[in-house]
Chains A and B, each alone.
Chain A
Amino acid sequence: MAVSVKIDPITRIEGHLAVRLDIDGGVIQNAYIAGEMYRGFEAILQGRDPMDAQQITQRICGVCPISHGIVSCAAQEAVYGIVPPENGRLLRNLIQGANTIQSHILHFYHLAALDYIDVQPVAEYKGNDPDLAGLKKWIESGAGSGGLYPFAPFLPKYSGNYITDPELNIMFVKHYMDAFKIRSLSHRMGAVFAGKLPHSPSIVPGGVTQPPTAHKILQFANMLNQIRTFIDTVYIPDVIELATAFPDYMLIGKGYGDLLAFGAYPETDAGDKTLLPSGIVTKGEVNDVDLFGIREDVRYSHYSSSSAAHPFESRTIPDPQKNKAYSWLKAPRYGGRPLEAGPLATVMAGYLRDEKSQIRALLDGVLKKIGRTHQDMQSTMGRHIARAIQCKIIADRCREWVDLLIPGNPTFTDFIIPDSGRGFGLTEAPRGALGHWIELKNRKIKSYQCVIPTTWNCSPRDDNGLPGPVEHALAGTAIADSENPLEAVRIVRSFDPCIACAVH
């Protein structure tokens, strides 16, 4: 029997997202994903002082502001003809690293894990852990309260095939609670140099306003040790545990297999070498990115502006009543193809580019434990594995970067803002490939365009009717109970969507 199921809102992502599923014979035939919020940042930026951009664009997203701030600075620096000094580059890498680590931990434990774990066995907990004992007390008090939703925010939820082993559930709940402390610590660590998080004031074109001192280096390094221990002994083992408990999710939620990575974390002042690699991955091969191949389609998006424009030419004029449009997201395409962005793209680009890379060693180690190969990575669980590996790669390298800081050396290069010019900046946000394109006229912003990883991933159909990567990953999925489409939200969340970013 054919049914149409709407999941609106999709929670435990950033922002306002909905999906409509056409299900027939218990299988998703077609999926239509819709971003449901628009603010119009690109129009707001027009006519402003260009230096406002790295502050304003950080406010596109409260989960990944640093990526926007850094890429906005990079776009401006291309126009101003400068690069930050070594200290400035290192500080930016550390701030961006700290924010990405908190985002990945938040995503796995707080956004995604509740689709797999069950909090209720904590009611039977008999151990000494104060967090678990406190939670048990709370569950007991709620059971007799008579309130409408005594177990919110953990219940109600979809029914389905959650983990049944009580010990495993209790362990995950404990780690869910620990992860709140670790992600908050990661933000605290970043704020040592960022001033505050989210939304850092210290990132400016030319570098960073916060000079490093021996004490700040000590603070950062000390907090990082705790975070790295958590990543190595809790986060990565938990991802393996989850992939073992849900082996079918290495097969469910397969993408197109075409991936986009811009690369991030410059290792040289010229920026010609980066920690995270760039590349377009197709059919097991990786090639360099040609930025001229990027276009943004709007046939099914709520915009009246012209379709299929390059970011330098693209405009953003809203038309909420537009016929056949179903999303506020545009549909970016590369040579007409939908690409998937995210940690999966950086990890696969690194894996395929370098046989001796840390990425390859780590991924092969994880895959061996779960009895899979890298070809299974284009999947729901593959995305979680890639995110955890990227998190470790960044955290390990931060430990080395922080030791390269030299107090007293400059963190900032001064500059003159020219009357006109064009520039762009690229990086890897926690959710994947991010680019900002800026054009100045009369020392003001003439145009500003952001092309964002979730826009690639959660895009609606393009001008040729080709579904976006998440729509494609949903199609063909068996849904056991159309009133509780748990399989679908697991797939959507594996992309870590950020709608405030994707629409902006």
Chain B
Amino acid sequence: MKNEFTRREFLVISGKLAAMMGLGASAVPDLAGALETMYSGNAKVLWLQGQSCSGCTVSLLNNSYPNPVELMTRYISMLFNTAITASTGEVSLDLINASIDRGGYYLVVEGAVPADMPEACMMGGEPVADQIIRAAKNAKAIIAVGTCAAFGGIPAAENNQTGAVGVMEFFKRKGVKANPINLPGCPAHPEWITGTLAHLLKFGKPALDGKNRPLMFYARYVHDQCPRFADYERESFADMFSGEGCLFKLGCVGPNTFGDCTIRQWNSGINSCINAGAPCIGCTSDTFALKAGFPFYRKGEILDGLK
């Protein structure tokens, strides 16, 4: 096969492919479709990052149905997300500030808030902590995406130096009367994000549990839907990584972790932690990674027992 062809040839080939599929020009309006009913120009999303790794943004980009371009041109209007926006510098600040003044957007926060050290997360000379409070006031709804934004996550772990907390706790401390929807996960599953946005746009706020997590994603324990549940019942335990059997003795915390990851699976249904032979490390939990004395794996504990 010829591996290199020119730009013009590529466009021609694309056209030929469409012709081969029997799609004439008349079929194009159907393919392109009318804009979806959910998109009304009001589905504005303002996405701000606190102490984050951008993993939840990257995870969102892994969504298949809709894919990122479809999401941003048919369902929502992504006013700002630092990884995607064409704007930069003053243009970005003006856009964010004018959007906040206008209001009526869905605010997404990714990352924790450094409650004791505001200088540890800044944008445009302003602590992001203050920016989030400003943005929260005019938001239609607030979504804390990922465990850092929901519960603090790794930035809030023992020995942290910045006093990092999740958005809900930060608002409580600052007396901000707003109640974010929490979508914990490290990262959040893209379908938890797009599914929550779809629910907000079409049906309003989804039913939440006591920790503000949508029940449609977080009602059941990982353990209850575990592909290795039968191994647990038969007390057939893996004794080392890559082995067959229930992963409990290696450190799995599926029995204490809410999430539908094992049945939804990741990256458009290709795999999940436990399916890949890896113990659940409880990344959706409000206690995720917080305590040094509660390691992810039990090898150290077993070695301690042998002492």
B59 touching A52 by the CB < 8 A rule? no
Which one of A14, A138, A196, A328 contacts B73 once the chains associate, using CB atoms below 8 Å? A138
Which one of A149, A168, A191 contacts B270 once the chains associate, using CB atoms below 8 Å? A191
Residue B295 at the chain A interface, CB threshold 8 Å: yes
A191 touching B271 by the CB < 8 A rule? yes
B240 touching A188 by the CB < 8 A rule? no
- Stretch touching chain A among B119-127, B198-206, B208-216, B218-226: B119-127
Given contacts A184-B61, A207-B242, A233-B5, contact A128 B267 (CB under 8 A): no
Given contacts A128-B18, A180-B68, A417-B303, contact A39 B162 (CB under 8 A): yes
B161 touching A188 by the CB < 8 A rule? no
Residue B194 at the chain A interface, CB threshold 8 Å: no
A16 touching B122 by the CB < 8 A rule? yes
B78 touching A153 by the CB < 8 A rule? yes
Residue A489 at the chain B interface, CB threshold 8 Å: yes
Kindly list chain B residues whose C-beta atoms are within 8 Å of the C-beta of A50.
300
B28 touching A12 by the CB < 8 A rule? no
Q: How far is the CA of A138 from the CA of B6 in the complex (A)?
A: 28
In the assembled complex, the CB of A176 is this many whole angstroms from the nearest CB of chain B, namely 8
Q: How far is the CA of A328 from the CA of B51 in the complex (A)?
A: 13
B119 touching A412 by the CB < 8 A rule? no
Residue A286 at the chain B interface, CB threshold 8 Å: no
Given contacts A318-B120, A500-B53, contact A209 B68 (CB under 8 A): no
In the assembled complex, the CB of B60 is this many whole angstroms from the nearest CB of chain A, namely 10
Given contacts A51-B295, A412-B241, contact A56 B154 (CB under 8 A): yes
- Contact bitstring B226-241, A, C-beta under 8 A = 1, else 0: 0000000000000011
A187 touching B62 by the CB < 8 A rule? yes
In the assembled complex, the CB of A420 is this many whole angstroms from the nearest CB of chain B, namely 13
Tell me the B53-67 residues at the A interface (CB within 8 Å): 53-59, 61-64, 67
- Stretch touching chain A among B31-39, B136-144, B165-173, B174-182: B31-39
Kindly list chain A residues whose C-beta atoms are within 8 Å of the C-beta of B273.
195-196, 201-202
Which one of A136, A196, A197, A318 contacts B32 once the chains associate, using CB atoms below 8 Å? A136
- B126, closest chain A residue (CB): A8
Q: How far is the CA of A145 from the CA of B11 in the complex (A)?
A: 31
Q: How far is the CA of A156 from the CA of B64 in the complex (A)?
A: 27
Given contacts A59-B186, A63-B58, contact A40 B162 (CB under 8 A): yes
Which one of B7, B25, B121, B161 contacts A241 once the chains associate, using CB atoms below 8 Å? B7
- B244, closest chain A residue (CB): A211
- B54, closest chain A residue (CB): A62
- Contact bitstring B69-97, A, C-beta under 8 A = 1, else 0: 11011100111111111111111111100
A12 touching B88 by the CB < 8 A rule? yes
Which one of B55, B88, B95, B300 contacts A51 once the chains associate, using CB atoms below 8 Å? B300
- Stretch touching chain B among A41-49, A292-300, A346-354, A471-479: A41-49
Kindly list chain A residues whose C-beta atoms are within 8 Å of the C-beta of B85.
11-12, 152-153
A156 touching B95 by the CB < 8 A rule? yes
A489 touching B120 by the CB < 8 A rule? no
Kindly list chain A residues whose C-beta atoms are within 8 Å of the C-beta of B187.
62, 198-199
Kindly list chain A residues whose C-beta atoms are within 8 Å of the C-beta of B292.
47-49
Residue B257 at the chain A interface, CB threshold 8 Å: no
Given contacts A44-B157, A198-B59, A412-B241, contact A128 B87 (CB under 8 A): no
A8 touching B7 by the CB < 8 A rule? no
Q: How far is the CA of A44 from the CA of B39 in the complex (A)?
A: 43
In the assembled complex, the CB of A214 is this many whole angstroms from the nearest CB of chain B, namely 16
In the assembled complex, the CB of A403 is this many whole angstroms from the nearest CB of chain B, namely 19
Q: How far is the CA of A211 from the CA of B51 in the complex (A)?
A: 35
Kindly list chain B residues whose C-beta atoms are within 8 Å of the C-beta of A40.
155, 159-162
In the assembled complex, the CB of B161 is this many whole angstroms from the nearest CB of chain A, namely 4
Residue B158 at the chain A interface, CB threshold 8 Å: yes
Residue A311 at the chain B interface, CB threshold 8 Å: no
Kindly list chain A residues whose C-beta atoms are within 8 Å of the C-beta of B123.
8-9, 16, 36
Q: How far is the CA of A184 from the CA of B267 in the complex (A)?
A: 8
Q: How large is the interface on B (under 10, 10 to 19, 20 to 34, 35 or more residues)?
A: 35 or more
Number of interface residues of A (CB under 8 A): 117
- B281, closest chain A residue (CB): A55
In the assembled complex, the CB of B72 is this many whole angstroms from the nearest CB of chain A, namely 7
Residue A208 at the chain B interface, CB threshold 8 Å: yes
A62 touching B160 by the CB < 8 A rule? no
Q: How far is the CA of A114 from the CA of B240 in the complex (A)?
A: 47
Kindly list chain B residues whose C-beta atoms are within 8 Å of the C-beta of A204.
241, 278, 297
Q: How far is the CA of A49 from the CA of B158 in the complex (A)?
A: 13
B162 touching A206 by the CB < 8 A rule? no
A198 touching B55 by the CB < 8 A rule? yes
Q: How far is the CA of A241 from the CA of B4 in the complex (A)?
A: 13
Residue A362 at the chain B interface, CB threshold 8 Å: no
Residue B217 at the chain A interface, CB threshold 8 Å: no
Q: How far is the CA of A153 from the CA of B124 in the complex (A)?
A: 19
Residue B268 at the chain A interface, CB threshold 8 Å: yes
Given contacts A51-B299, A55-B281, contact A110 B89 (CB under 8 A): no
- A14, closest chain B residue (CB): B54
Q: How far is the CA of A111 from the CA of B84 in the complex (A)?
A: 7
Kindly list chain B residues whose C-beta atoms are within 8 Å of the C-beta of A65.
53, 55
Residue in B162, B187, B297, B299 with the greatest tally of chain A CB atoms within 10 Å:
B299
A197 touching B125 by the CB < 8 A rule? no
A154 touching B122 by the CB < 8 A rule? no
Kindly list chain B residues whose C-beta atoms are within 8 Å of the C-beta of A141.
35
Which one of A15, A129, A183, A184 contacts B14 once the chains associate, using CB atoms below 8 Å? A129
A177 touching B69 by the CB < 8 A rule? yes
Kindly list chain B residues whose C-beta atoms are within 8 Å of the C-beta of A209.
241-242, 276-278
B102 touching A49 by the CB < 8 A rule? no
Q: How far is the CA of A65 from the CA of B6 in the complex (A)?
A: 35
In the assembled complex, the CB of B13 is this many whole angstroms from the nearest CB of chain A, namely 9
A135 touching B296 by the CB < 8 A rule? no
Which one of A14, A181, A412, A483 contacts B67 once the chains associate, using CB atoms below 8 Å? A181
- Contact bitstring A117-161, B, C-beta under 8 A = 1, else 0: 000000000011111011111100110010111101111111000
Kindly list chain A residues whose C-beta atoms are within 8 Å of the C-beta of B49.
15-16
- B289, closest chain A residue (CB): A56
In the assembled complex, the CB of B306 is this many whole angstroms from the nearest CB of chain A, namely 9
Q: 10 tightest CB-CB pairs across the interface, nearest first? A: A62-B55, A195-B276, A49-B295, A196-B266, A201-B278, A320-B119, A209-B277, A133-B32, A191-B267, A130-B31
| Residues of A participating in the B interface, judged by any CB pair closer than 8 Å | 6-16, 18, 36-41, 43-44, 46-52, 55-56, 59-63, 65, 106, 110-111, 114, 127-131, 133-138, 141-142, 145, 147-150, 152-158, 167-168, 171, 174, 177, 180-181, 183-184, 187-188, 190-199, 201-202, 204, 206-211, 219, 232-234, 237, 241, 302, 317-318, 320-321, 328, 410-412, 414, 416-417, 443, 483, 485, 489, 500
Q: A46-B159, A167-B11 are in contact. List 18 more A-B contacts (CB 8 A).
A: A15-B52, A37-B122, A39-B120, A50-B300, A110-B84, A127-B14, A149-B98, A153-B72, A174-B14, A188-B267, A196-B261, A197-B267, A204-B297, A208-B242, A233-B4, A411-B242, A412-B240, A443-B303
24 pairs from A and B in contact (CB 8 Å cutoff): A7-B88, A7-B89, A8-B125, A12-B83, A16-B121, A38-B120, A39-B162, A39-B164, A44-B155, A62-B56, A127-B15, A148-B98, A152-B85, A153-B72, A156-B94, A191-B266, A209-B242, A210-B242, A234-B10, A318-B120, A318-B162, A320-B117, A412-B241, A412-B242
